[in-house]
Structure 1
Amino acid sequence: MRTLGLRGRLLVTALAAVLLAASATGYALLGEDPPAPVRSAPVADPALMVLTNGRLSTVSAADPGGPRQVTDTACDRVFAAAGTVACLRPVGALSATGLVVMDDRLRTRRTVPLTGFPNRLRVSAGGRMVAWTMFVDGHSYATTGFSTRAGMLDTRTGEVVDTLEDFAVVRDGRPYRGADVNFWGITFAADERRFYATMSTGGHRYLVEGDAGARTVRTVRDNVECPSLSPDGTRIAYKSAVDGDPAKGWRLSVLDLASGRVTPLAERRSVDDQAVWLDERTVAYALQTPDGTNDTWSVPADGGGAPRLLVPGANSPAPLPGTPQAVRSAAALELE
């Protein structure tokens, strides 16, 4: 398998300009203010993949607030690693959502129909495994009665796990079965077999460690949601409900798996996102603005420093280290 994909510069500058102009015209016809304009320009490497107004984009990691390349690929969530690009399609008035797995030139490799509203998405570091979470009832972790469905795709074998609820559960060292078991927020270990996720049951929200091959999960710790495993596999960034009550918001923290030590991060605003590690020292996450759009922020993972605005007007960040490969929209490919 190729090294982390999305190399080189995006070849969609002209397409992005046309797309943005068309979007502005549409908003004018509707009598609404268009989104803030985004400059489109070649992106240096390394880069970050983000969503700009729901469109797959890349920005320079050295200048994340600067010009960006915007494609015509629409996603509600996006993630990429090692040449595998995963996209959860938006739910439309006449269309359902689904997972689209693409290569580093945005050519479709696999589609998986899904039910519900896109929520979380991850690709394992080697690009083999893709995991998603969908809201199938309710739209917020802070409400009661919500239900999620978390599944996986093995891009090598083609096997699809429709839901982790079919996995055998060990809670506090004992086999466990519960009608209210729910999973969300999967993150993979480097071996692409082990994973971590959130499991909700009996009023508790557990961090669980799972084995995709054995189809098992075991509880590790309480009050851990939306885990994100560090690149070295030793720590987990996550959101914890303040005072155990999601209605009070979430505190972004980091758990050391060996010692069990928890480090609250300098971000004190409520973060309802699955953070991503930009490197061993920094995590990134999205925060919604009052007008309903999103900004991507970063904060040191050691509890020091302060939050920093990373990519304005963007969400769903994914780091693309090294020398990015050329990523082109389907329309750009047709022009060749």
Structure 2
Amino acid sequence: MTRTTRLVILLVAVLLLGGVGTGAVLYAAHRSGMRDEQQANGPTVRAGTVTLRPTADRPLLVRNLAWGPHRDEIATVPADDPQGPRTVSGVKCLRFHAAAGTGICLQAVHGRLTDTYRAVVLDSHLHERHRFPAAGIPTRARVSPSGHMAAWTVFVSGDSYAGTNFSTRTSIVDTRTGAIDDNLETFRIIKDDRPYQAADINIWGVTFADDARFYATLATGGRTYLVRGDVAARTLTTLHQNVECPSLSPDGTQIAYKKRVKGASPDAPWRLYVLDLRTMKETATAEQRNIDDQALWADDSTLVYALPGDYGSDLWTVPANGTGTARRLMTSAIAPAYLN
């Protein structure tokens, strides 16, 4: 073999290897781009414009948990096609809720040594209107039906409601002015028709009736209570025992909540119930699994809530009247909000 022949063979080999390498890079880039659009065995996810304004197709907003570059972003899907393609916003939240063109987004701020947290009030275009430091790990968030008020709860210590070794901080803000009640524990408590004070009070899980009235959970003395809150009077009045993370129905007549049931594991103590506020009658839903979420009402008869899933959480739905069966609504999603 001549020297010239050897050089030609070497040149061809180099060109072939370069072509293979370039092809591999292009293929990997293509696959990466595909993952931006279609998660493996998961939903289609596309970047686009997300609005908090109600539209004709009644969109459903969620925190997207599908694995990929858009994980944790607020996403929207048509409410009648929740398994369909998701449009993601670029805005990341740990907890989220929205109503009437206003959103509340609880975020982590990653530092070199530790994380901090903040609550951000968003306008209809998901632009920041107000920002507040949050005292701990985000866990619950709600906006009033008018969009004029927002509330959030964080864990100040501990990270689970299952035991007793935790402390919460719940705040309410007027989204129009930015005026904030930073700690609902400063409200006057009326328990069993008498003023009540204690050192072990915790309050969490606000759900709004309107801009002046709300419901929440109050814990004290090893028990939990449904309380009715009055923003102007700064009072919390107990109504019913063994209620956690209440959620008011759109017509204002029912509360969905998680209830501790006898015989359940201390690590999984809750089942999903509904309380009729007129009769105080409790109804167990058909969902028999442990529920550690603040359920959402899709309408006056249907509940939506999160359960553990392959990528964090999936959304499930069940009738509120105790009939039917639970069914999966969306995979890889949490923190739903319907824009009515």
- TM-score for the superposition, normalised by structure 2: 0.81
What's 2:292 paired with? Answer: 272
- Give the deviation of 1:194 after TM superposition: 0.6
Q: Would you say 1:212 and 2:231 are equivalent positions?
A: yes
Divergent runs of 4+, >4 A: 20-25, 34-37, 41-44
Q: Which residue pairs with 1:39 in the alignment?
A: 44
Equivalent in the alignment of 1:196: 215
8 Å contact kept, 1:229–1:235 = yes
* SS of structure 2 residue aligned to 1:100: strand
Aligned to 1:314: 333
Show CA shifts across 1:30-52 (max 9, x none).
xxxx8865313689821110011
Q: Matches of residues 1-336 of structure 1 in structure 2 within 5 Å?
A: 21=32, 37-40=42-45, 45-53=57-65, 54-94=72-112, 95-190=115-210, 192-243=211-262, 246-289=266-309, 291=310, 293-321=312-340
The alpha-carbon deviation at position 244 of structure 1 amounts to 8.5
Letter in 2 for 1:89: Q
Supply the distance in 1 between the matched residues of 2:168 and 2:152 (Cα, whole angstroms): 10
Provide the aligned length of Structure 1 versus Structure 2. Answer: 293
Deviates more, 1:156-165 or 1:241-250: 241-250
One-letter code aligned to 2:57: D
Separation in structure 2 between the aligned mates of residue 233 and residue 294 of structure 1, nearest angstrom: 28
Higher relative contact order (CA 8 A, sep 6+): 1
Deviation at residue 96 of structure 1 after TM alignment: 1.5
- The one-character-per-residue Cα deviations of 1:246-302 (angstroms, maximum 9, x if unpaired) are 53421101000010111100111101000011111111001012x461001111111
Match of 1:287, as an amino acid? Answer: L
C-alpha distance in structure 2 between counterparts of 1:93 and 1:134, whole Å = 19
Aligned letter for 1:73? V
- What's the CA shift for 1:156? 2.4
**CA distance, structure 1, for counterparts of residue 263 and residue 96 of structure 2:** 29
Letter in 2 for 1:74: K
CA–CA separation in structure 2 for the residues paired with 1:139 and 1:36: 31
Query: 2:110 is paired with a residue of what secondary structure?
Result: coil
One-letter identity of the residue aligned with 2:213: R
SS of 2:288's equivalent in the other structure is: coil
CA apart distance, 1:225: 0.2
Q: Which runs of 5+ in 2 are unaligned?
A: 1-28, 51-55, 66-71
Q: Please report how far the alpha carbon of residue 23 of structure 1 lies from its aligned counterpart in structure 2 after TM superposition.
A: 11
Q: Say which SS state the counterpart of residue 90 (structure 1) adopts.
A: strand
Return the alpha-carbon distance in structure 2 between the equivalents of residues 216 and 298 of structure 1: 33
**Does the CA contact (< 8 Å) of 1:242 and 1:248 recur in 2?**
no
Q: Which structure has the bigger radius of gyration? A: 2
Secondary structure at the counterpart of residue 303 of structure 1: coil
Matched residue SS, 1:89: strand
Contact 2:42 2:331 in 1 (8 A): no
CA displacement at 1:66 relative to structure 2 = 1.3
Work out the percentage of aligned pairs sharing the same amino acid. Answer: 49
- Partner letter of residue 61 of structure 2? M
Unaligned ranges ≥5, structure 1: 1-17, 26-33, 322-336
